[in-house]
Amino acid sequence: FRLGDLVTVVGPDDEIQRVAEALGEESGESLELDRSEFDVRRLFVSDRAVTGHPLRNLDLPRKHGAIVTRLRRGDLDFVPNGDTVLEPGDRVRVLAKREDMDRIGKLFGDSYRALSDVDLLALSVGMSLGLLVGLIPIPIPGGQFRLGFAGGPLVVALLLGKLGRTRSIVWSLPYSANLTLRQFGLMLFSAGIGTRAGYSFYSTLASGKGMDVFALGAALTFGSAILTFVFGYAVLRIPLNQLFCIYAGAQTQPVGLSFAVDQTKNDLPTQGYARMFPIATVFKIVIGQLLLAFAR
C-alpha cells in the first residue's frame, strides 16, 4: 500500500475493525460504487474444470487479476479462503477489471442450465461402490455383520466427498440435484416405514399393553433427547443447529435431519448428522450381532 490509498475490506466485523486500526482510519468514500475500472459480478460455478478444486489452485490474482470476495452455497453466504473447495452450483462474487470479466465468467462456466445436468457416471459409480461396500462381511467375535444398503453408500459418499474429484469425475452433485434426491429419498424412506409398520403399530396400540409400550418408548426417546441437548449445549458448547442433527444421526433418523434443515434454513446441521450417522449405524449393527451371538 501507499500513503493515501483507499482500501475496501471484506470480512467479519471484528476482523474489519482490526484491519482498519492497522491500516489507518475509515473513509466515507464507497469504492464499491465506482465501476470505472473494476467490476463486481456474481457467477455460477458450473464448469467441471474448476469444481472440486480449492480456490488457491485457480491462482486468480496472478493469472486473471481477480479475487473472490463472497461465496454463496445454498442459502448461506460466507467469505471464502484459499482452502475453500468449489462445488457445482456455488455462486461466487468476483472482483476484476471490466475487460476481464467475460473471460473469468467462461472460466467458472456461469451457466444455470449446466447445473441441471447430473453426472450419471459419477452418481452410478458412487452408488455401485456403496452397495458393494454394504455387502462386504466384516468379521466380529461370534459372527459377522454388513453395513447394508444404507451404511455402505453413506461410508462411500463420505470418502468420495472428502476426495472431491478423481481426474475429470467430480463426486459432488449440484446443489439443486442434491436437494431433490434427498427429498425424494426421504419420501420413499418415510413411505416404506409407514406401510411396513402401520398395521403392527395399530395392533400394538389395540392390545392391552400397547399404551405401556408406547409410553415407555416415548419416555426413553424424550429422556435421551433432553440429556443429549443439556450435555451437548451446556457442557460441550455445541451449536443447537448441529446438536439437533447429531441426535438425529445417533437415532439414524433422516426425518430429524430434514426437520432441522427446514428450521435453521441452512445446511450446517448436515455436518453433525454426517459425523454421527455412520458411527451410530455401525454401532447398532455390531450391538445387534453381539446380542444375537450371546442369545445363542
Residue with cell 475487460: 99
Mean pLDDT of the chain: 79
pLDDT in tens, 166-220: 887 878 777 777 778 877 877 887 777 777 776 677 777 677 676 777 788 888 8
Tell me which of 60 and 261 has the higher pLDDT.
Answer: 60
Domain-wise residue ranges, the chain: 35-115, 130-173, 208-296
DSSP state letters, the chain? --TT------S-HHHHHHHHHHH----S--GGG--SSEEEEEEEB--TTTTTSBHHHH-HHHHTS-EEEEEEETTEEE---TTPBP-TT-EEEEEEEGGGHHHHHHHHB--TGGGG---HHHHHHHHHHHHHHHHS-EEETTEEE--HHHHHHHHHHHHHHHH-EETTEE-PPPHHHHHHHHHHHHHHHHHHHHHHHHHHHHHHHHSTTHHHHHHHHHHHHHHHHHHHHHIIIIIS---HHHHHHHHHHHTT-HHHHHHHHHHHTSSTHHHHHHHHHHHHHHHHHHHHHHHHHHH-
- Per-residue pLDDT for 130 more than 80? yes
Buried b (16+ CB within 10 A) or exposed e, 210-241: eeeeeeeeeeeeeeebeebbeebeeeeebeeb
Mean pLDDT for the stretch of residues 90-112: 87
**Planar angle of CA 50, 157, 155, nearest 5 degrees:** 150
- Per-residue pLDDT for 289 more than 70? no
Band the pLDDT of 132: cuts 50, 70, 90: very high
The residues near 139 (Cβ < 8 Å, ≥ 6 apart) are none
Residue with cell 490509498: 5
- The CATH fold assigned to 35-115 is Alpha-Beta Plaits (3.30.70)
Cα 252 to Cα 262: distance, rounded to the nearest angstrom: 18
Neighbours of 86 (CB within 10 A): 25
- Per-residue pLDDT for 141 more than 70? no
Burial of 25 per CB tally in 10 Å (0-12, 13-18, 19+): exposed
Instruction: Determine the residue type at 50.
Output: V
What angle do helix axes 210-230 and 240-250 make, rounded to 10 degrees?
140
The predicted structure's pLDDT at residue 123: 83
Per this entry, what is the length of the chain?
296
pLDDT in tens, 236-254: 887 777 777 777 777 777 7
